[in-house]
Amino acid sequence: MSKILIADDEKDISELIKRYAMREGYEVTAVEDGQQAIELCEKEDFDIIIMDVMMPDTDGFTASKRIREMKDIPILMLSARGSEYDKLFGFESGIDDYVTKPFSPKELMARINVIIKRHRPAQKKDTGVIKFAGIVLDTLGHEVTIDGEKAELTAKEYSILLYLMQNKGIVLSRDKILNEVWGYDYYGDDRTVDWQIKLLRGKLGKYRELIHTIRGAGYKFEA
Protein backbone atom coordinates (compact mmCIF):
# COMPACT_ATOMS: atom_id res chain seq x y z
CA MET A 1 0.00 0.00 0.00
CA SER A 2 1.46 3.36 -1.03
CA LYS A 3 1.65 6.05 1.63
CA ILE A 4 0.67 9.69 1.11
CA LEU A 5 1.49 12.59 3.41
CA ILE A 6 -0.76 15.65 3.13
CA ALA A 7 0.53 18.92 4.58
CA ASP A 8 -2.21 21.56 4.41
CA ASP A 9 -3.74 23.78 7.10
CA GLU A 10 -7.07 23.96 5.22
CA LYS A 11 -8.89 20.99 6.73
CA ASP A 12 -11.62 20.85 4.10
CA ILE A 13 -9.03 20.49 1.32
CA SER A 14 -7.01 17.99 3.32
CA GLU A 15 -10.12 15.89 3.98
CA LEU A 16 -11.13 16.05 0.31
CA ILE A 17 -7.76 14.73 -0.86
CA LYS A 18 -7.73 12.12 1.90
CA ARG A 19 -11.17 10.84 0.90
CA TYR A 20 -10.22 10.43 -2.78
CA ALA A 21 -6.83 8.90 -1.96
CA MET A 22 -8.30 6.32 0.41
CA ARG A 23 -10.83 5.31 -2.25
CA GLU A 24 -7.87 4.36 -4.45
CA GLY A 25 -6.28 2.31 -1.69
CA TYR A 26 -3.67 4.75 -0.37
CA GLU A 27 -2.67 4.99 3.27
CA VAL A 28 -2.98 8.68 4.18
CA THR A 29 -1.43 10.81 6.93
CA ALA A 30 -2.33 14.49 7.29
CA VAL A 31 -0.56 17.34 9.11
CA GLU A 32 -1.32 21.07 9.28
CA ASP A 33 2.04 22.79 8.80
CA GLY A 34 5.40 22.39 7.14
CA GLN A 35 7.37 21.79 10.34
CA GLN A 36 5.17 18.83 11.23
CA ALA A 37 5.77 17.42 7.74
CA ILE A 38 9.55 17.76 8.16
CA GLU A 39 9.52 16.06 11.57
CA LEU A 40 7.32 13.22 10.32
CA CYS A 41 9.55 12.61 7.29
CA GLU A 42 12.54 12.28 9.62
CA LYS A 43 10.82 9.27 11.20
CA GLU A 44 8.83 7.73 8.34
CA ASP A 45 8.97 7.16 4.59
CA PHE A 46 6.22 8.19 2.19
CA ASP A 47 5.62 7.53 -1.49
CA ILE A 48 4.54 11.13 -2.11
CA ILE A 49 3.87 14.37 -0.22
CA ILE A 50 1.04 16.76 -1.11
CA MET A 51 2.35 20.11 0.16
CA ASP A 52 0.45 23.38 0.48
CA VAL A 53 2.50 26.55 0.02
CA MET A 54 0.98 28.92 2.58
CA MET A 55 1.07 27.28 6.01
CA PRO A 56 1.81 28.53 9.52
CA ASP A 57 5.22 28.05 11.13
CA THR A 58 7.04 26.69 8.06
CA ASP A 59 5.84 27.34 4.50
CA GLY A 60 5.64 24.65 1.83
CA PHE A 61 8.66 25.88 -0.15
CA THR A 62 10.94 25.73 2.91
CA ALA A 63 9.55 22.39 4.05
CA SER A 64 9.96 20.86 0.59
CA LYS A 65 13.58 21.96 0.34
CA ARG A 66 14.45 20.57 3.79
CA ILE A 67 12.68 17.27 3.13
CA ARG A 68 14.42 16.76 -0.21
CA GLU A 69 17.75 17.34 1.52
CA MET A 70 16.93 14.36 3.77
CA LYS A 71 15.11 11.95 1.47
CA ASP A 72 14.17 11.45 -2.16
CA ILE A 73 10.41 11.68 -1.65
CA PRO A 74 8.39 13.11 -4.57
CA ILE A 75 6.46 16.26 -3.71
CA LEU A 76 3.37 17.71 -5.37
CA MET A 77 2.81 21.36 -4.44
CA LEU A 78 -0.68 22.83 -3.95
CA SER A 79 -1.18 26.58 -4.03
CA ALA A 80 -3.66 29.31 -4.75
CA ARG A 81 -0.68 31.21 -6.19
CA GLY A 82 -0.37 30.26 -9.84
CA SER A 83 2.14 32.75 -11.19
CA GLU A 84 5.07 31.58 -13.28
CA TYR A 85 7.45 32.85 -10.60
CA ASP A 86 5.79 30.75 -7.88
CA LYS A 87 5.88 27.64 -10.04
CA LEU A 88 9.54 28.13 -10.97
CA PHE A 89 10.42 28.76 -7.33
CA GLY A 90 8.63 25.56 -6.40
CA PHE A 91 10.49 23.47 -8.95
CA GLU A 92 13.77 25.01 -7.82
CA SER A 93 12.85 23.85 -4.29
CA GLY A 94 12.83 20.29 -5.57
CA ILE A 95 9.12 19.59 -6.16
CA ASP A 96 7.86 17.22 -8.87
CA ASP A 97 4.57 18.89 -9.80
CA TYR A 98 2.63 22.09 -9.08
CA VAL A 99 -1.19 22.24 -8.94
CA THR A 100 -3.12 25.46 -8.40
CA LYS A 101 -6.27 25.79 -6.29
CA PRO A 102 -9.09 25.23 -6.96
CA PHE A 103 -8.33 21.86 -8.51
CA SER A 104 -10.09 18.74 -9.76
CA PRO A 105 -9.66 15.89 -7.23
CA LYS A 106 -9.73 13.35 -10.08
CA GLU A 107 -6.98 15.18 -11.96
CA LEU A 108 -4.97 15.49 -8.75
CA MET A 109 -5.20 11.73 -8.15
CA ALA A 110 -4.14 11.07 -11.75
CA ARG A 111 -1.04 13.24 -11.23
CA ILE A 112 -0.30 11.49 -7.93
CA ASN A 113 -0.53 8.05 -9.55
CA VAL A 114 1.85 9.05 -12.36
CA ILE A 115 4.42 10.53 -9.95
CA ILE A 116 4.38 7.49 -7.65
CA LYS A 117 4.74 5.12 -10.60
CA ARG A 118 7.66 7.14 -11.94
CA HIS A 119 9.47 7.14 -8.59
CA ARG A 120 8.75 3.54 -7.60
CA PRO A 121 11.99 1.88 -6.40
CA ALA A 122 13.61 -0.57 -8.79
CA GLN A 123 13.17 -3.46 -6.37
CA LYS A 124 9.40 -3.08 -6.62
CA LYS A 125 9.49 -3.63 -10.35
CA ASP A 126 8.91 -7.13 -11.61
CA THR A 127 12.57 -8.21 -11.58
CA GLY A 128 11.82 -11.17 -9.33
CA VAL A 129 14.82 -10.42 -7.09
CA ILE A 130 15.05 -8.31 -3.93
CA LYS A 131 18.50 -7.71 -2.48
CA PHE A 132 19.55 -6.25 0.85
CA ALA A 133 23.02 -6.59 2.36
CA GLY A 134 23.93 -10.28 1.93
CA ILE A 135 20.32 -11.42 1.62
CA VAL A 136 18.95 -12.19 -1.85
CA LEU A 137 15.27 -13.12 -2.17
CA ASP A 138 14.21 -14.60 -5.51
CA THR A 139 10.43 -14.34 -5.83
CA LEU A 140 10.38 -16.32 -9.08
CA GLY A 141 12.45 -19.18 -7.72
CA HIS A 142 10.83 -18.83 -4.29
CA GLU A 143 14.14 -19.09 -2.47
CA VAL A 144 16.47 -17.06 -0.30
CA THR A 145 20.25 -17.04 -0.21
CA ILE A 146 22.39 -15.56 2.55
CA ASP A 147 25.94 -14.66 1.53
CA GLY A 148 25.53 -17.03 -1.41
CA GLU A 149 24.28 -19.97 0.66
CA LYS A 150 20.68 -21.18 0.29
CA ALA A 151 18.59 -20.56 3.42
CA GLU A 152 16.15 -23.31 4.38
CA LEU A 153 13.09 -21.26 5.22
CA THR A 154 9.58 -22.53 5.80
CA ALA A 155 6.76 -21.12 3.66
CA LYS A 156 5.68 -18.78 6.47
CA GLU A 157 9.24 -17.60 7.18
CA TYR A 158 9.72 -16.89 3.47
CA SER A 159 6.44 -14.94 3.27
CA ILE A 160 7.27 -12.88 6.35
CA LEU A 161 10.75 -12.03 5.04
CA LEU A 162 9.31 -11.10 1.64
CA TYR A 163 6.71 -8.81 3.25
CA LEU A 164 9.33 -7.14 5.46
CA MET A 165 11.80 -6.62 2.59
CA GLN A 166 9.11 -5.25 0.26
CA ASN A 167 8.28 -2.69 2.95
CA LYS A 168 11.85 -1.85 4.02
CA GLY A 169 11.95 1.02 6.50
CA ILE A 170 8.22 0.82 7.29
CA VAL A 171 6.93 -0.32 10.68
CA LEU A 172 4.54 -3.24 10.18
CA SER A 173 2.16 -4.10 13.00
CA ARG A 174 1.60 -7.70 14.04
CA ASP A 175 -1.96 -7.42 12.72
CA LYS A 176 -0.70 -6.32 9.30
CA ILE A 177 1.74 -9.23 9.17
CA LEU A 178 -1.00 -11.66 10.22
CA ASN A 179 -3.35 -10.32 7.56
CA GLU A 180 -0.70 -10.39 4.82
CA VAL A 181 0.89 -13.77 5.60
CA TRP A 182 -1.89 -15.78 7.23
CA GLY A 183 -4.91 -14.03 5.69
CA TYR A 184 -7.93 -12.29 7.14
CA ASP A 185 -9.51 -15.59 8.23
CA TYR A 186 -6.75 -16.39 10.72
CA TYR A 187 -8.05 -16.47 14.28
CA GLY A 188 -4.82 -16.85 16.23
CA ASP A 189 -3.11 -14.11 18.27
CA ASP A 190 -0.12 -11.92 17.49
CA ARG A 191 2.23 -14.13 19.55
CA THR A 192 2.28 -16.36 16.47
CA VAL A 193 4.04 -13.53 14.60
CA ASP A 194 6.60 -13.10 17.41
CA TRP A 195 7.43 -16.81 17.34
CA GLN A 196 7.84 -16.90 13.57
CA ILE A 197 10.03 -13.77 13.65
CA LYS A 198 12.23 -15.45 16.29
CA LEU A 199 12.65 -18.51 14.08
CA LEU A 200 13.33 -16.36 11.00
CA ARG A 201 15.98 -14.32 12.82
CA GLY A 202 17.72 -17.55 13.78
CA LYS A 203 18.05 -18.50 10.11
CA LEU A 204 19.28 -15.05 9.02
CA GLY A 205 22.45 -15.45 11.09
CA LYS A 206 24.50 -12.26 11.25
CA TYR A 207 21.69 -10.40 9.47
CA ARG A 208 19.15 -11.12 12.21
CA GLU A 209 19.48 -7.55 13.48
CA LEU A 210 17.99 -6.22 10.22
CA ILE A 211 14.59 -7.14 11.68
CA HIS A 212 13.97 -4.51 14.35
CA THR A 213 11.39 -4.89 17.10
CA ILE A 214 9.53 -1.60 17.51
CA ARG A 215 8.10 -1.63 21.01
CA GLY A 216 4.34 -1.39 21.03
CA ALA A 217 4.18 -1.10 17.23
CA GLY A 218 5.53 -4.18 15.45
CA TYR A 219 8.55 -4.91 13.28
CA LYS A 220 10.68 -3.06 10.76
CA PHE A 221 13.27 -4.34 8.26
CA GLU A 222 16.12 -1.83 8.09
CA ALA A 223 19.88 -1.54 8.38
* pLDDT for 202: 93
- Put residue 195 in one of left, alpha, beta given phi > 0 → left and psi -120 to 50 → alpha: alpha
Helix (H, G, I), strand (E, B) or coil at 79: strand
Measure the CA–CA gap between 21 and 112, rounded to whole angstroms.
9
Q: What is the pTM of this model?
A: 0.53
Measure the CA–CA gap between 41 and 6, rounded to whole angstroms.
12
Residue 138 host element (H or E): strand 135-138
Identity of residue 193: V
Give the distance, in angstroms, between the CA of residue 196 and the centroid of all CA atoms in the same chain. Answer: 24
- Structure confidence by residue, pLDDT tens digits, 161-217: 999 999 988 999 988 898 888 775 555 566 788 989 999 999 999 999 999 999 989
Helix (H, G, I), strand (E, B) or coil at 211: strand
Query: What sign results for the dihedral spanned by CA atoms 216, 219, 220, 223?
Result: positive
* pLDDT for 100: 85
Mean pLDDT of 216-223: 90
Residue 30 host element (H or E): strand 27-31
* pLDDT for 151: 94
- Structure confidence by residue, pLDDT tens digits, 109-131: 988 988 888 776 544 445 688 98
8 A C-beta contact, residue 196 and residue 161: no
Mean pLDDT of 74-94: 77
Question: Exposed, middle or buried, 207 (CB in 10 Å: 0-12/13-18/19+)?
Answer: middle
* pLDDT for 124: 47
Tell me the CA distances in angstroms from 70 to 23, 61, 73, one per residue in order: 30, 15, 9
Eight-class DSSP state of 123: G
Beta strands in 62-210 (DSSP E): 75-79, 97-100, 129-132, 135-138, 143-146, 149-151
* pLDDT for 121: 57
Structure confidence at residue 23 as a pLDDT band (50, 70, 90): confident
8 A C-beta contact, residue 207 and residue 146: yes
Measure the CA–CA gap between 21 and 40, rounded to whole angstroms.
19
Residue 8: closest CA among 66, 87, 76, 85: 76
Please name each of the domains of the chain with its CATH number. Answer: 3-120 (3.40.50.2300), 129-221 (1.10.10.10)
Measure the CA–CA gap between 63 and 76, rounded to whole angstroms.
12
- Structure confidence by residue, pLDDT tens digits, 36-81: 999 999 988 899 999 998 888 888 888 888 888 888 888 998 887 7
